[in-house]
Amino acid sequence: KFRYSEKKDIFENSKLLTLNFDEIQEFLEKLSTSSSLKEKMFHFIISWAENDLESRKIYLPNLLEIIPLNSKWNFQSNIDCY
């Protein structure tokens, strides 16, 4: 398991990409209280799914719901880049 940290570079750890859905969900839920990480969370979720797209794409809606959204962050503009 990974230790929770508020550091924005925590998503740079390539071992995170190997975790299963339950582990990723738990990890992201711990981070979800920090709205400053929401863009990093979004890009990480996409990277995690792309690491094994066929088996992980079904988890995208559940994981994306974890991101704390507000009016200052435009989800659509971030999706458009993919």
Average pLDDT over residues 41-51: 94
pTM: 0.74
| pLDDT higher than threshold 70 for residue 6 | no
At residue 65, φ and ψ (nearest 5 deg) are: -65, -20
pLDDT at position 73 over 70 = no
77 pLDDT above the threshold of 70:
no
d(CA 30, CA 71): 22
State the Cα–Cα distance between residues 14 and 66, nearest whole angstrom. 21
Which whole-number Å values give the CA distances from 32 to 13, 37, 78, 81, 82, in the listed order? 18, 8, 18, 22, 22
Show Cβ contacts of residue 37 under 8 Å, excluding neighbours closer than 6 positions: 6, 8, 31
Residue 72 reports pLDDT greater than 70 = no
| Mean pLDDT, residues 25-41 | 87
User: Which range among 7-16, 21-30, 39-48, 58-67 shows the weakest confidence by mean pLDDT?
Assistant: 7-16
Please count the other Cβ atoms lying within 10 Å of the Cβ belonging to residue 34.
Answer: 14
